[in-house]
Amino acid sequence: MKILVVGSGGREHAVIRKLKENSEVEKIWCAPGNGGISKDAECVDIKATDKEKMVAFALNNHVDFCVVTPDDPLALGMVDDMEKEGIPCFGPFANAAIIEASKAFSKDLMKKYGIPTADYQTFEDEKEALHYIKEKNEFPIVIKADGLALGKGVLICETLDDAKAALREMMVDHIFGKSGNKVVVEEFMTGPEVSVLAFTDSKCIKPMVSSMDHKRVNDNDEGLNTGGMGTIAPSPYYTKEIADTCMEKIFLPTIHAMCKEGRPFKGCLYFGLMLTPKGPRVVEYNCRFGDPETQVVLPLLKTDLLTIMQACHDETLENVDVEWSNEACACVIEASGGYPVKYEKGFEIHGLDENGQHDGVVVYHAGTKEENGKFYTNGGRVLGITAKGRDLSSALEKAYAAVEQIGFEKMHYRKDIGRK
Ligand code: AMP
Ligand code: GLY
């Protein structure tokens, strides 16, 4: 088997290391990949969104299976183009990737099929949105750009003035470009957040172990939202009872709804959930593996990943037993100082061996480059230091012990991952 993985972050690194456990995998390319990934796969200098070049590369190199991991190429239809050329893929077609690419679409889907989520209204006019918020007069209120916005398109507004400013930024100043032409205004929910990633072939859905992201940049959930500063799995809040409720009220209804809409979803469907006092509700869907959720979920997978991915493609997932370890896993992100706003790159990273790894943990590379056997920072999120343990405390202890020994100038990381 020759496999092409599209993407370049810690999540892709985790997918690649898991795929490599299958002895039938003889070759993995990663496009574009990064310095650390180059130790586990051959990196190819093609942008993740360059559909034409990616398909040409896959054809020229007789790729047997392609894993399209990030949201943008999925929304752009990279899977559609690959499959047209006969290259089987793991990942949804563009018409199903819309479940992440348009928040208005996903909210309307949930409303139509009775899937629990926050109450909302969609607006294309700034004045109408403001009028609605004034009438409602309940704060905080949540304003979301409809389209993809690098995880930054959600603003929680404490006052009417905040809401005015948010609407202006999105709809008038277009800080998120076209993504803010339409906005969703929704009720503010409370409760612990849980991420559940699930394998699906559109008819059958098999959830992975639950996980919990830490989105804010600083300890105690302070500061700006980021792509994620660390994760743990499983989430202690996600009980068997809650899991059963989610299967019945959220997971199955969602994949059935997508089929009914003529948009069967195959791949990894990510449920961002909030465990509210009224029960679990959907905060968001993603059409892909989460980052850094994948880094703590896949190490706990006991079943061969390629077999599962092929079954999602072939619509035979029902026949695969997906098994999980009872251990816990923790990932602490080492980020560049200043992330998610402005940061420098190019600092040498110390504490890594020649493969970019460190004893006792797995180091997933998110934004690194390698030159002459040394690793350098090359992005906002740089490394994900990941450890497994018999329970959460021991996993965290191992991960943080390694964090002390791996680093670079101006490094920033959260010291409270998994503490809550
Ligand atoms: P999203 O990109 O939709 O996942 O939103 C980013 C983050 O904003 C979520 O992880 C939540 O912490 C927060 N958020 C989004 N929608 C709501 C809501 N309706 N109520 C409370 N918090 C929310
Ligand atoms: N960690 C959140 C995401 O991948 O969207």
Alpha helix stretches (DSSP H) within 315-358: none
Whole-model pTM?
A: 0.95
Distance 131 CA to ligand 2 centre (A): 32
In short, whether 100's Cβ falls inside 6 Å of ligand 1 is no
Neighbouring C-beta atoms of residue 247, cutoff 10 Å: 15
For residue 99, the model assigns a pLDDT of: 98
For residue 42, the model assigns a pLDDT of: 98
User: How many helices (H) and strands (E) would you count in the chain?
Assistant: 13, 23
The CA distance from 167 to 173, in Å, is: 9
Question: For a pocket test of ligand 1, which of 117, 156, 217, 273 has the largest count of ligand atoms closer than 8 A to its C-beta?
Answer: 156
C-alpha distances out from residue 54 to 148, 155, 290, Å: 22, 35, 22
C-alpha distances out from residue 32 to 5, 54, 174, 300, 354, Å: 9, 10, 29, 26, 21
Judged by DSSP in three states, 411 sits in strand
Distance 290 CA to ligand 2 centre (A): 4
The CA distance from 330 to 413, in Å, is: 14
Copy the structure tokens of residue 364. 């997933």
One-character DSSP codes across 183-211: EEEEE---S-EEEEEEEE-SS-EEE---B
The CA distance from 221 to 89, in Å, is: 37
Neighbouring C-beta atoms of residue 281, cutoff 10 Å: 21
For residue 164, the one-letter residue type is: K
In short, whether 186's Cβ falls inside 6 Å of ligand 1 is yes
Contact 22, 306 (CB under 8 A): yes
Residue nearest to atom 3 of ligand 2 (CA): 290
For residue 109, the model assigns a pLDDT of: 98
For residue 279, the one-letter residue type is: G
- CA dihedral angle for residue 102, residue 244, residue 291, residue 184, rounded to 10 degrees: 20
Copy the structure tokens of residue 182. 């339409």
Question: For a pocket test of ligand 1, which of 194, 284, 285, 287 has the largest count of ligand atoms closer than 8 A to its C-beta?
Answer: 284
In short, whether 143's Cβ falls inside 6 Å of ligand 1 is no
Copy the structure tokens of residue 244. 């059963």
Residue nearest to atom 5 of ligand 2 (CA): 290
Copy the structure tokens of residue 83. 């499959």
Taking only the tens of pLDDT, the chain with its 420 residues reads 999 999 999 999 999 999 999 999 999 999 999 999 999 999 999 999 999 999 999 999 999 999 999 999 999 999 999 999 999 999 999 999 999 999 899 999 999 999 999 999 999 999 999 999 999 999 999 999 988 887 678 899 999 999 999 999 999 999 888 888 899 999 999 999 999 999 999 999 999 999 999 999 999 999 988 999 999 999 999 999 999 999 999 999 999 999 999 999 999 999 999 999 999 999 999 999 999 999 999 999 999 999 999 999 999 999 999 999 999 999 999 999 999 999 999 999 999 999 999 999 999 999 999 999 999 999 999 999 999 999 999 999 999 999 999 999 999 999 999 998
Question: For a pocket test of ligand 2, which of 11, 289, 293 has the largest count of ligand atoms closer than 8 A to its C-beta?
Answer: 293
Contact 259, 225 (CB under 8 A): no
Give the number of the ligand closest to the Cα of residue 381: 2
